[in-house]
Structure 1
Amino acid sequence: MENNTQTASLSSSPIPTPVETNQVAIIPKSKTILTRKPRNLSPASVADIDNINRPSPEIFINNYYTKLNENNYTEAWSFLTTELQENSTSHPQGYQSYIEWWEQVNNINVQIISSSSQNKTAKVKVRCKDDLKNGSKIYADILYYLRWNETDNNWRILNIQPISSTTTKSNLSVNESQPTSSVSDNVNRLSPAKAIEDYYTKINNQDYQTAWDIYPTTVKENKELHPDGYNSFIEWWTQVDHVNIDRVKIEEESYDNAIVNIGTHYKMKSGKISPIKLKFYLAWNKEYQRWYVTKIKHK
Protein backbone atom coordinates (compact mmCIF):
# COMPACT_ATOMS: atom_id res chain seq x y z
CA MET A 1 0.00 0.00 0.00
CA GLU A 2 1.38 3.23 -1.09
CA ASN A 3 1.98 5.76 1.67
CA ASN A 4 0.47 9.09 0.57
CA THR A 5 1.48 10.96 3.70
CA GLN A 6 3.50 14.05 2.80
CA THR A 7 6.15 15.49 5.05
CA ALA A 8 5.72 19.17 5.56
CA SER A 9 8.78 21.24 4.80
CA LEU A 10 9.97 23.53 7.58
CA SER A 11 10.23 26.28 5.10
CA SER A 12 6.53 26.22 4.51
CA SER A 13 5.64 26.41 8.17
CA PRO A 14 3.08 29.18 8.84
CA ILE A 15 5.17 30.30 11.86
CA PRO A 16 8.39 31.99 10.72
CA THR A 17 11.54 30.70 12.22
CA PRO A 18 13.38 33.38 14.22
CA VAL A 19 16.76 34.37 12.86
CA GLU A 20 19.56 35.06 15.29
CA THR A 21 21.69 38.15 14.66
CA ASN A 22 24.47 39.99 16.43
CA GLN A 23 23.51 43.41 14.98
CA VAL A 24 21.89 46.00 17.24
CA ALA A 25 19.61 48.61 15.75
CA ILE A 26 20.76 52.15 16.64
CA ILE A 27 18.19 54.92 16.63
CA PRO A 28 19.93 58.24 15.96
CA LYS A 29 19.23 60.98 18.50
CA SER A 30 18.26 64.40 17.25
CA LYS A 31 20.62 67.10 18.49
CA THR A 32 19.28 70.41 19.84
CA ILE A 33 21.86 73.15 19.34
CA LEU A 34 21.40 76.25 21.51
CA THR A 35 22.66 79.45 19.99
CA ARG A 36 22.91 82.86 21.70
CA LYS A 37 21.90 85.77 19.61
CA PRO A 38 24.58 88.45 19.76
CA ARG A 39 23.45 91.53 21.68
CA ASN A 40 23.79 94.77 19.85
CA LEU A 41 24.22 97.71 22.20
CA SER A 42 22.51 100.84 21.07
CA PRO A 43 24.47 104.10 21.18
CA ALA A 44 22.38 105.10 24.20
CA SER A 45 23.36 101.90 26.04
CA VAL A 46 27.03 102.48 25.31
CA ALA A 47 26.71 106.04 26.57
CA ASP A 48 25.05 104.79 29.77
CA ILE A 49 27.94 102.39 30.39
CA ASP A 50 30.45 105.18 29.81
CA ASN A 51 28.63 107.44 32.26
CA ILE A 52 28.69 104.75 34.95
CA ASN A 53 32.45 104.39 34.62
CA ARG A 54 33.14 108.12 34.76
CA PRO A 55 33.97 109.98 37.97
CA SER A 56 31.20 112.37 38.96
CA PRO A 57 31.57 116.04 37.99
CA GLU A 58 31.04 117.00 41.66
CA ILE A 59 34.04 114.94 42.79
CA PHE A 60 36.13 116.45 40.00
CA ILE A 61 35.35 120.02 41.13
CA ASN A 62 35.97 119.15 44.79
CA ASN A 63 39.35 117.71 43.78
CA TYR A 64 40.11 120.91 41.90
CA TYR A 65 39.57 123.04 45.00
CA THR A 66 41.57 120.56 47.09
CA LYS A 67 44.55 121.14 44.79
CA LEU A 68 44.15 124.91 45.15
CA ASN A 69 43.98 124.71 48.95
CA GLU A 70 47.13 122.57 48.90
CA ASN A 71 48.86 125.28 46.81
CA ASN A 72 49.35 122.66 44.11
CA TYR A 73 48.72 125.19 41.36
CA THR A 74 50.46 123.22 38.60
CA GLU A 75 48.14 120.26 39.15
CA ALA A 76 45.08 122.52 39.46
CA TRP A 77 46.06 124.25 36.21
CA SER A 78 45.94 120.87 34.44
CA PHE A 79 42.24 120.61 35.33
CA LEU A 80 41.57 123.31 32.70
CA THR A 81 41.14 122.58 29.01
CA THR A 82 43.81 123.88 26.65
CA GLU A 83 41.27 126.37 25.27
CA LEU A 84 40.71 127.89 28.71
CA GLN A 85 44.42 127.92 29.54
CA GLU A 86 45.11 129.82 26.32
CA ASN A 87 42.17 132.21 26.71
CA SER A 88 43.79 135.65 26.67
CA THR A 89 40.86 137.23 28.50
CA SER A 90 40.95 134.79 31.42
CA HIS A 91 44.73 134.33 31.47
CA PRO A 92 46.53 137.16 29.62
CA GLN A 93 49.91 135.70 30.59
CA GLY A 94 48.84 132.07 30.72
CA TYR A 95 49.84 130.12 33.81
CA GLN A 96 51.54 133.18 35.32
CA SER A 97 48.21 135.05 35.45
CA TYR A 98 46.59 131.99 37.00
CA ILE A 99 49.00 131.65 39.92
CA GLU A 100 49.20 135.42 40.49
CA TRP A 101 45.55 135.31 41.45
CA TRP A 102 45.52 132.11 43.49
CA GLU A 103 48.64 133.07 45.45
CA GLN A 104 46.55 135.88 46.96
CA VAL A 105 44.06 133.35 48.36
CA ASN A 106 44.70 131.76 51.73
CA ASN A 107 41.85 129.23 51.77
CA ILE A 108 38.66 128.35 49.89
CA ASN A 109 35.50 126.90 51.39
CA VAL A 110 33.31 125.39 48.69
CA GLN A 111 29.81 123.93 48.58
CA ILE A 112 28.32 122.11 45.59
CA ILE A 113 24.90 123.61 44.87
CA SER A 114 23.82 121.65 41.80
CA SER A 115 25.16 119.60 38.93
CA SER A 116 23.97 118.04 35.70
CA SER A 117 25.63 116.01 32.95
CA GLN A 118 24.75 114.79 29.49
CA ASN A 119 26.99 112.57 27.39
CA LYS A 120 30.39 114.29 27.38
CA THR A 121 29.45 117.61 28.99
CA ALA A 122 28.51 118.65 32.50
CA LYS A 123 27.69 121.73 34.58
CA VAL A 124 28.48 122.19 38.27
CA LYS A 125 27.36 125.17 40.30
CA VAL A 126 29.29 125.99 43.47
CA ARG A 127 29.05 128.50 46.29
CA CYS A 128 32.42 129.42 47.69
CA LYS A 129 34.09 131.71 50.18
CA ASP A 130 37.64 132.82 49.38
CA ASP A 131 39.69 133.98 52.37
CA LEU A 132 42.32 136.31 50.96
CA LYS A 133 45.73 136.82 52.55
CA ASN A 134 45.02 140.54 53.01
CA GLY A 135 42.07 139.69 55.28
CA SER A 136 39.30 140.27 52.74
CA LYS A 137 36.70 137.65 51.90
CA ILE A 138 34.99 136.96 48.59
CA TYR A 139 31.62 135.22 48.49
CA ALA A 140 30.68 133.95 45.06
CA ASP A 141 28.38 131.64 43.13
CA ILE A 142 30.19 130.12 40.16
CA LEU A 143 29.05 127.88 37.32
CA TYR A 144 31.62 125.45 35.90
CA TYR A 145 31.21 124.03 32.40
CA LEU A 146 32.99 120.70 32.01
CA ARG A 147 33.93 118.52 29.05
CA TRP A 148 34.96 114.87 29.13
CA ASN A 149 38.54 114.27 28.01
CA GLU A 150 38.93 110.93 26.22
CA THR A 151 42.73 111.04 26.38
CA ASP A 152 43.09 110.72 30.15
CA ASN A 153 39.50 109.67 30.95
CA ASN A 154 38.64 112.60 33.15
CA TRP A 155 36.70 115.84 33.14
CA ARG A 156 38.26 119.17 32.19
CA ILE A 157 37.05 122.71 32.92
CA LEU A 158 35.94 124.26 29.65
CA ASN A 159 34.57 127.55 30.97
CA ILE A 160 33.98 129.34 34.28
CA GLN A 161 31.02 131.69 34.65
CA PRO A 162 30.72 133.85 37.78
CA ILE A 163 27.04 134.25 38.70
CA SER A 164 27.30 136.59 41.66
CA SER A 165 30.07 137.93 43.85
CA THR A 166 30.42 140.17 46.90
CA THR A 167 33.55 141.17 48.80
CA THR A 168 34.11 141.87 52.46
CA LYS A 169 36.94 144.37 52.53
CA SER A 170 39.60 144.54 55.20
CA ASN A 171 40.56 147.78 56.95
CA LEU A 172 44.16 146.59 56.89
CA SER A 173 46.63 147.24 54.15
CA VAL A 174 48.31 144.25 52.58
CA ASN A 175 51.59 145.05 54.35
CA GLU A 176 50.09 145.28 57.84
CA SER A 177 50.62 142.16 59.90
CA GLN A 178 47.77 142.53 62.39
CA PRO A 179 45.42 139.68 63.37
CA THR A 180 42.56 139.04 60.98
CA SER A 181 40.12 139.40 63.90
CA SER A 182 40.45 143.17 63.40
CA VAL A 183 38.99 142.89 59.91
CA SER A 184 35.93 145.04 59.35
CA ASP A 185 32.61 143.39 58.48
CA ASN A 186 31.60 146.21 56.14
CA VAL A 187 30.27 144.72 52.92
CA ASN A 188 29.64 146.23 49.52
CA ARG A 189 26.54 144.11 49.16
CA LEU A 190 23.90 143.93 46.47
CA SER A 191 20.79 146.01 47.12
CA PRO A 192 17.59 144.00 47.70
CA ALA A 193 15.97 145.74 44.72
CA LYS A 194 18.84 144.66 42.46
CA ALA A 195 18.54 141.11 43.82
CA ILE A 196 14.91 140.97 42.65
CA GLU A 197 15.77 142.49 39.27
CA ASP A 198 18.50 139.87 38.83
CA TYR A 199 15.99 137.18 39.75
CA TYR A 200 13.69 138.18 36.89
CA THR A 201 16.64 138.49 34.51
CA LYS A 202 17.45 134.85 35.20
CA ILE A 203 13.79 133.92 34.67
CA ASN A 204 13.70 135.73 31.32
CA ASN A 205 16.94 133.98 30.32
CA GLN A 206 15.34 130.64 31.28
CA ASP A 207 18.10 130.11 33.83
CA TYR A 208 15.57 128.56 36.19
CA GLN A 209 18.05 126.61 38.31
CA THR A 210 19.96 129.75 39.28
CA ALA A 211 16.73 131.69 39.84
CA TRP A 212 15.50 128.89 42.12
CA ASP A 213 18.51 129.43 44.36
CA ILE A 214 17.18 132.79 45.56
CA TYR A 215 14.93 130.76 47.87
CA PRO A 216 16.25 129.24 51.10
CA THR A 217 15.75 125.54 51.77
CA THR A 218 12.69 126.17 53.96
CA VAL A 219 10.88 127.84 51.05
CA LYS A 220 12.04 125.28 48.49
CA GLU A 221 10.68 122.46 50.66
CA ASN A 222 7.39 124.21 51.47
CA LYS A 223 4.76 121.79 50.11
CA GLU A 224 2.10 124.49 49.85
CA LEU A 225 4.30 126.64 47.61
CA HIS A 226 6.17 123.87 45.79
CA PRO A 227 4.37 120.51 46.17
CA ASP A 228 6.87 118.85 43.85
CA GLY A 229 9.87 121.01 44.74
CA TYR A 230 11.86 122.38 41.81
CA ASN A 231 9.54 120.68 39.31
CA SER A 232 6.62 122.77 40.58
CA PHE A 233 8.74 125.89 40.19
CA ILE A 234 9.67 125.27 36.55
CA GLU A 235 6.19 123.99 35.65
CA TRP A 236 4.93 127.49 36.35
CA TRP A 237 7.76 129.47 34.80
CA THR A 238 7.86 127.46 31.57
CA GLN A 239 4.35 128.81 30.92
CA VAL A 240 5.69 132.38 31.02
CA ASP A 241 7.24 133.85 27.89
CA HIS A 242 8.63 137.05 29.41
CA VAL A 243 8.31 139.33 32.44
CA ASN A 244 8.46 143.10 32.00
CA ILE A 245 9.38 145.02 35.14
CA ASP A 246 7.55 148.34 35.39
CA ARG A 247 8.60 149.48 38.85
CA VAL A 248 10.84 148.35 41.72
CA LYS A 249 10.78 150.11 45.07
CA ILE A 250 12.35 149.27 48.42
CA GLU A 251 9.67 149.65 51.08
CA GLU A 252 12.04 149.08 53.98
CA GLU A 253 15.54 147.77 54.56
CA SER A 254 17.62 146.91 57.61
CA TYR A 255 20.87 145.00 57.89
CA ASP A 256 19.09 141.63 58.11
CA ASN A 257 15.79 142.14 56.27
CA ALA A 258 14.16 144.03 53.42
CA ILE A 259 10.81 144.42 51.68
CA VAL A 260 10.69 145.17 47.96
CA ASN A 261 7.56 146.13 46.02
CA ILE A 262 7.51 145.37 42.32
CA GLY A 263 5.09 146.03 39.48
CA THR A 264 5.28 143.74 36.45
CA HIS A 265 3.51 142.50 33.35
CA TYR A 266 3.66 138.74 32.76
CA LYS A 267 3.44 137.77 29.11
CA MET A 268 2.27 134.16 28.98
CA LYS A 269 3.05 131.75 26.15
CA SER A 270 -0.69 131.49 25.59
CA GLY A 271 -0.61 135.15 24.52
CA LYS A 272 -2.28 136.51 27.66
CA ILE A 273 -0.65 139.51 29.38
CA SER A 274 -1.29 139.91 33.10
CA PRO A 275 -0.34 142.90 35.28
CA ILE A 276 1.01 141.55 38.58
CA LYS A 277 2.12 143.48 41.66
CA LEU A 278 4.13 141.64 44.29
CA LYS A 279 5.73 142.27 47.66
CA PHE A 280 9.00 140.40 48.22
CA TYR A 281 10.27 139.74 51.75
CA LEU A 282 14.02 139.17 51.85
CA ALA A 283 16.53 138.08 54.49
CA TRP A 284 20.27 138.72 54.36
CA ASN A 285 22.47 135.63 54.70
CA LYS A 286 25.68 136.72 56.37
CA GLU A 287 27.53 133.47 55.70
CA TYR A 288 27.01 133.57 51.93
CA GLN A 289 26.65 137.36 51.69
CA ARG A 290 23.46 137.33 49.66
CA TRP A 291 19.73 138.02 49.84
CA TYR A 292 17.19 135.20 50.07
CA VAL A 293 13.47 135.55 49.34
CA THR A 294 11.54 134.19 52.32
CA LYS A 295 8.01 135.19 51.30
CA ILE A 296 6.05 136.69 48.39
CA LYS A 297 2.65 138.38 48.67
CA HIS A 298 0.29 139.60 45.97
CA LYS A 299 -0.60 143.25 46.40
Structure 2
Amino acid sequence: MNKREDIAGFYERIHYAGPERIEADKPHINIFERAACIGAIPYSRRDYYKVTLILGTGRLDYSNQSIYIDRPALVFSNPMIPYNWIPDSTDQQGWFCIFNQAFVQQREGLLTNLPMFQIDTDKVFFPDADSVDEIAAFFKAMMRENMKNYVHKYDILRNYLHLIVHHALKMQPARDYERDLNAAARITNLFLELLNRQFPIYSRQNELQLRSAKDFAKQLSLHTNHLNRAVKDFTGKTTTEHIASRIVLEANDLLRHTDWTISEIGYCLGFQYPGYFNSFYKKHAGTTPNELRKHVV
Protein backbone atom coordinates (compact mmCIF):
# COMPACT_ATOMS: atom_id res chain seq x y z
CA MET A 1 0.00 0.00 0.00
CA ASN A 2 1.48 3.33 -1.04
CA LYS A 3 1.82 5.97 1.64
CA ARG A 4 -0.94 8.56 1.80
CA GLU A 5 -0.06 11.54 -0.42
CA ASP A 6 -0.40 15.03 1.03
CA ILE A 7 -0.63 18.28 -0.94
CA ALA A 8 3.11 18.97 -0.58
CA GLY A 9 3.81 15.48 -1.95
CA PHE A 10 1.42 16.10 -4.83
CA TYR A 11 3.20 19.35 -5.70
CA GLU A 12 6.51 17.53 -5.62
CA ARG A 13 5.15 14.79 -7.90
CA ILE A 14 4.02 17.28 -10.56
CA HIS A 15 7.10 19.52 -10.10
CA TYR A 16 5.03 22.51 -9.05
CA ALA A 17 6.78 25.28 -7.13
CA GLY A 18 3.97 25.88 -4.67
CA PRO A 19 4.11 27.42 -1.19
CA GLU A 20 7.23 26.59 0.77
CA ARG A 21 5.11 25.21 3.59
CA ILE A 22 1.51 23.99 3.63
CA GLU A 23 0.08 23.86 7.14
CA ALA A 24 -2.66 21.30 7.76
CA ASP A 25 -4.66 23.66 9.96
CA LYS A 26 -4.75 26.48 7.37
CA PRO A 27 -7.19 26.48 4.42
CA HIS A 28 -5.64 25.67 1.06
CA ILE A 29 -7.12 25.35 -2.42
CA ASN A 30 -5.50 25.37 -5.85
CA ILE A 31 -6.66 24.96 -9.43
CA PHE A 32 -4.78 23.52 -12.40
CA GLU A 33 -5.18 22.55 -16.00
CA ARG A 34 -4.86 18.78 -16.31
CA ALA A 35 -1.84 19.26 -18.56
CA ALA A 36 0.06 20.01 -15.34
CA CYS A 37 -0.40 16.39 -14.28
CA ILE A 38 -0.25 14.15 -17.36
CA GLY A 39 0.19 10.41 -17.07
CA ALA A 40 -0.91 7.61 -14.79
CA ILE A 41 -1.71 8.43 -11.17
CA PRO A 42 -0.47 5.78 -8.69
CA TYR A 43 -2.96 3.86 -6.58
CA SER A 44 -3.03 5.48 -3.16
CA ARG A 45 -5.04 7.57 -0.76
CA ARG A 46 -4.66 11.33 -0.59
CA ASP A 47 -5.13 13.59 2.40
CA TYR A 48 -6.88 16.17 0.22
CA TYR A 49 -10.10 16.50 -1.77
CA LYS A 50 -10.09 16.76 -5.54
CA VAL A 51 -12.65 17.72 -8.20
CA THR A 52 -11.71 17.03 -11.82
CA LEU A 53 -13.24 17.70 -15.22
CA ILE A 54 -11.70 15.03 -17.44
CA LEU A 55 -11.58 15.73 -21.18
CA GLY A 56 -9.80 12.60 -22.31
CA THR A 57 -10.15 8.84 -22.04
CA GLY A 58 -8.82 6.30 -19.58
CA ARG A 59 -9.72 4.12 -16.61
CA LEU A 60 -10.37 4.93 -12.97
CA ASP A 61 -9.66 2.03 -10.61
CA TYR A 62 -11.21 1.89 -7.15
CA SER A 63 -10.90 -0.96 -4.68
CA ASN A 64 -14.29 -2.39 -5.67
CA GLN A 65 -14.74 -1.33 -9.30
CA SER A 66 -13.16 0.13 -12.44
CA ILE A 67 -14.85 2.84 -14.49
CA TYR A 68 -13.88 3.51 -18.09
CA ILE A 69 -13.99 7.18 -19.00
CA ASP A 70 -14.87 7.44 -22.70
CA ARG A 71 -16.45 10.92 -22.69
CA PRO A 72 -16.21 14.11 -20.61
CA ALA A 73 -16.49 13.23 -16.92
CA LEU A 74 -16.70 15.08 -13.63
CA VAL A 75 -14.90 13.15 -10.87
CA PHE A 76 -14.92 13.73 -7.11
CA SER A 77 -12.40 12.20 -4.70
CA ASN A 78 -11.98 12.38 -0.95
CA PRO A 79 -9.25 11.33 1.50
CA MET A 80 -11.00 8.07 2.40
CA ILE A 81 -11.17 6.42 -1.03
CA PRO A 82 -7.96 5.34 -2.79
CA TYR A 83 -7.90 5.18 -6.59
CA ASN A 84 -5.66 5.37 -9.60
CA TRP A 85 -6.01 6.82 -13.10
CA ILE A 86 -4.67 5.08 -16.19
CA PRO A 87 -4.99 7.20 -19.36
CA ASP A 88 -5.23 5.42 -22.69
CA SER A 89 -4.45 8.42 -24.88
CA THR A 90 -2.06 11.36 -24.86
CA ASP A 91 -4.87 13.85 -25.46
CA GLN A 92 -5.74 14.67 -21.85
CA GLN A 93 -7.37 18.03 -21.24
CA GLY A 94 -9.58 19.57 -18.59
CA TRP A 95 -9.09 21.09 -15.13
CA PHE A 96 -8.97 20.07 -11.50
CA CYS A 97 -8.90 21.70 -8.09
CA ILE A 98 -7.55 20.32 -4.82
CA PHE A 99 -8.39 21.53 -1.32
CA ASN A 100 -7.67 20.42 2.23
CA GLN A 101 -9.78 19.66 5.28
CA ALA A 102 -9.14 23.10 6.74
CA PHE A 103 -10.67 24.69 3.62
CA VAL A 104 -13.73 22.50 4.13
CA GLN A 105 -14.05 23.32 7.82
CA GLN A 106 -13.80 27.03 7.11
CA ARG A 107 -17.53 26.92 6.31
CA GLU A 108 -18.69 24.13 8.63
CA GLY A 109 -18.03 21.30 6.20
CA LEU A 110 -20.85 22.26 3.84
CA LEU A 111 -19.03 20.79 0.85
CA THR A 112 -18.22 17.40 2.32
CA ASN A 113 -21.75 16.91 3.66
CA LEU A 114 -22.82 16.64 0.02
CA PRO A 115 -23.29 13.10 -1.29
CA MET A 116 -20.44 12.87 -3.80
CA PHE A 117 -17.90 13.25 -0.99
CA GLN A 118 -19.39 10.43 1.09
CA ILE A 119 -18.49 6.74 1.24
CA ASP A 120 -20.50 4.39 -1.05
CA THR A 121 -21.94 7.09 -3.31
CA ASP A 122 -21.39 8.01 -6.95
CA LYS A 123 -18.04 9.69 -7.60
CA VAL A 124 -18.13 9.91 -11.42
CA PHE A 125 -20.66 11.90 -13.45
CA PHE A 126 -21.02 12.33 -17.21
CA PRO A 127 -22.33 15.83 -18.00
CA ASP A 128 -23.94 16.72 -21.32
CA ALA A 129 -22.24 19.11 -23.76
CA ASP A 130 -23.88 22.25 -22.37
CA SER A 131 -22.95 21.34 -18.80
CA VAL A 132 -19.37 20.58 -19.85
CA ASP A 133 -19.08 24.10 -21.28
CA GLU A 134 -20.50 25.66 -18.10
CA ILE A 135 -18.30 23.59 -15.78
CA ALA A 136 -15.24 24.43 -17.89
CA ALA A 137 -16.14 28.11 -17.60
CA PHE A 138 -16.31 27.77 -13.80
CA PHE A 139 -12.86 26.19 -13.65
CA LYS A 140 -11.41 28.92 -15.87
CA ALA A 141 -12.98 31.58 -13.63
CA MET A 142 -11.50 29.86 -10.57
CA MET A 143 -8.04 29.96 -12.12
CA ARG A 144 -8.40 33.68 -12.78
CA GLU A 145 -9.63 34.39 -9.24
CA ASN A 146 -6.86 32.30 -7.75
CA MET A 147 -4.28 34.63 -9.30
CA LYS A 148 -5.68 37.61 -7.40
CA ASN A 149 -5.01 38.79 -3.85
CA TYR A 150 -8.60 39.66 -2.93
CA VAL A 151 -9.11 39.15 0.81
CA HIS A 152 -12.25 37.02 0.31
CA LYS A 153 -10.82 35.02 -2.58
CA TYR A 154 -11.48 31.67 -0.90
CA ASP A 155 -15.17 32.48 -0.56
CA ILE A 156 -15.39 33.15 -4.30
CA LEU A 157 -13.57 29.91 -5.11
CA ARG A 158 -15.86 28.00 -2.74
CA ASN A 159 -18.91 29.45 -4.49
CA TYR A 160 -17.65 28.31 -7.89
CA LEU A 161 -16.94 24.90 -6.42
CA HIS A 162 -20.51 24.69 -5.13
CA LEU A 163 -21.80 25.53 -8.61
CA ILE A 164 -19.77 22.66 -10.06
CA VAL A 165 -21.05 20.31 -7.35
CA HIS A 166 -24.66 21.24 -8.01
CA HIS A 167 -24.24 20.53 -11.71
CA ALA A 168 -23.40 16.98 -10.64
CA LEU A 169 -26.36 16.76 -8.26
CA LYS A 170 -28.73 17.78 -11.03
CA MET A 171 -27.50 14.85 -13.15
CA GLN A 172 -28.73 12.31 -10.61
CA PRO A 173 -32.29 11.05 -10.14
CA ALA A 174 -34.25 13.16 -7.69
CA ARG A 175 -33.38 12.06 -4.16
CA ASP A 176 -33.73 13.63 -0.79
CA TYR A 177 -30.33 15.34 -0.70
CA GLU A 178 -31.68 18.34 1.21
CA ARG A 179 -32.12 16.60 4.54
CA ASP A 180 -31.74 18.83 7.53
CA LEU A 181 -28.62 18.19 9.55
CA ASN A 182 -30.70 17.00 12.49
CA ALA A 183 -29.66 14.85 15.42
CA ALA A 184 -29.70 11.65 13.34
CA ALA A 185 -27.43 13.28 10.76
CA ARG A 186 -24.98 14.52 13.37
CA ILE A 187 -24.84 11.10 15.04
CA THR A 188 -24.34 9.43 11.66
CA ASN A 189 -21.55 11.82 10.70
CA LEU A 190 -19.78 11.17 14.01
CA PHE A 191 -20.15 7.41 13.55
CA LEU A 192 -18.78 7.53 9.99
CA GLU A 193 -15.91 9.77 11.07
CA LEU A 194 -14.93 7.28 13.80
CA LEU A 195 -15.26 4.38 11.36
CA ASN A 196 -13.16 5.93 8.62
CA ARG A 197 -10.55 7.32 11.01
CA GLN A 198 -9.36 3.76 11.61
CA PHE A 199 -8.17 3.48 8.00
CA PRO A 200 -5.95 3.08 6.09
CA ILE A 201 -3.96 0.33 7.79
CA TYR A 202 -0.26 0.70 7.10
CA SER A 203 1.26 -1.81 9.49
CA ARG A 204 0.88 -5.50 10.21
CA GLN A 205 0.90 -4.58 13.89
CA ASN A 206 -2.30 -2.51 13.57
CA GLU A 207 -5.47 -4.08 14.91
CA LEU A 208 -8.93 -2.63 14.34
CA GLN A 209 -10.32 -1.44 17.67
CA LEU A 210 -13.92 -0.56 16.75
CA ARG A 211 -15.70 -3.40 14.95
CA SER A 212 -19.28 -3.49 16.26
CA ALA A 213 -22.18 -1.12 16.78
CA LYS A 214 -21.66 -1.58 20.52
CA ASP A 215 -18.02 -0.44 20.22
CA PHE A 216 -19.02 2.73 18.38
CA ALA A 217 -21.96 3.48 20.69
CA LYS A 218 -19.64 3.29 23.69
CA GLN A 219 -17.21 5.75 22.07
CA LEU A 220 -20.08 8.15 21.29
CA SER A 221 -21.70 7.76 24.74
CA LEU A 222 -24.93 6.52 23.16
CA HIS A 223 -27.14 3.50 23.66
CA THR A 224 -26.51 1.00 20.87
CA ASN A 225 -30.19 1.05 19.82
CA HIS A 226 -30.09 4.85 19.56
CA LEU A 227 -27.02 4.74 17.31
CA ASN A 228 -28.51 1.96 15.14
CA ARG A 229 -31.79 3.81 14.70
CA ALA A 230 -30.13 7.14 13.81
CA VAL A 231 -27.77 5.60 11.23
CA LYS A 232 -30.53 3.51 9.64
CA ASP A 233 -32.95 6.46 9.49
CA PHE A 234 -30.38 8.77 7.91
CA THR A 235 -28.60 6.39 5.49
CA GLY A 236 -30.98 3.50 4.94
CA LYS A 237 -28.20 1.11 6.00
CA THR A 238 -27.47 -0.39 9.40
CA THR A 239 -24.31 0.33 11.37
CA THR A 240 -23.30 -3.30 10.84
CA GLU A 241 -23.65 -2.90 7.06
CA HIS A 242 -21.50 0.26 7.10
CA ILE A 243 -18.82 -1.41 9.22
CA ALA A 244 -18.77 -4.56 7.07
CA SER A 245 -18.64 -2.55 3.83
CA ARG A 246 -15.70 -0.48 5.08
CA ILE A 247 -13.79 -3.53 6.31
CA VAL A 248 -14.29 -5.25 2.94
CA LEU A 249 -12.99 -2.16 1.11
CA GLU A 250 -9.86 -2.16 3.26
CA ALA A 251 -9.45 -5.91 2.84
CA ASN A 252 -9.63 -5.47 -0.96
CA ASP A 253 -6.87 -2.86 -0.85
CA LEU A 254 -4.63 -4.96 1.37
CA LEU A 255 -5.18 -8.13 -0.66
CA ARG A 256 -4.44 -6.36 -3.94
CA HIS A 257 -1.67 -3.99 -2.96
CA THR A 258 0.39 -5.64 -0.20
CA ASP A 259 2.32 -8.89 0.16
CA TRP A 260 0.89 -9.53 3.62
CA THR A 261 -0.46 -13.00 4.26
CA ILE A 262 -4.21 -13.47 4.46
CA SER A 263 -3.84 -14.31 8.15
CA GLU A 264 -1.99 -11.02 8.76
CA ILE A 265 -4.65 -9.06 6.90
CA GLY A 266 -7.41 -10.76 8.86
CA TYR A 267 -5.66 -10.01 12.15
CA CYS A 268 -5.26 -6.31 11.27
CA LEU A 269 -8.99 -6.16 10.53
CA GLY A 270 -9.88 -7.61 13.92
CA PHE A 271 -10.20 -11.33 13.16
CA GLN A 272 -8.21 -13.50 15.54
CA TYR A 273 -8.51 -16.60 13.37
CA PRO A 274 -8.15 -16.88 9.55
CA GLY A 275 -11.32 -18.96 9.32
CA TYR A 276 -13.39 -16.12 10.81
CA PHE A 277 -11.95 -13.66 8.30
CA ASN A 278 -12.54 -16.03 5.37
CA SER A 279 -16.17 -16.59 6.37
CA PHE A 280 -16.79 -12.86 6.88
CA TYR A 281 -15.18 -11.91 3.58
CA LYS A 282 -17.04 -14.56 1.57
CA LYS A 283 -20.35 -13.51 3.11
CA HIS A 284 -19.91 -9.85 2.21
CA ALA A 285 -17.74 -9.98 -0.94
CA GLY A 286 -19.10 -13.15 -2.55
CA THR A 287 -15.66 -14.71 -2.91
CA THR A 288 -12.78 -15.73 -0.67
CA PRO A 289 -9.66 -13.66 0.07
CA ASN A 290 -7.53 -16.29 -1.67
CA GLU A 291 -9.69 -16.24 -4.81
CA LEU A 292 -9.49 -12.45 -5.01
CA ARG A 293 -5.71 -12.51 -4.62
CA LYS A 294 -5.36 -15.10 -7.41
CA HIS A 295 -6.97 -12.65 -9.85
CA VAL A 296 -4.72 -9.70 -8.98
CA VAL A 297 -2.79 -8.69 -12.09
Bin the TM-score by the shorter chain.
under 0.3
Instruction: Mark the structure with the bigger radius of gyration.
Output: 1
Q: Return the structure number with greater strand share.
A: 1
Q: Which has the higher contact order (CA 8 A, sep 6+)?
A: 2
Q: Return the structure number with greater helix share.
A: 2
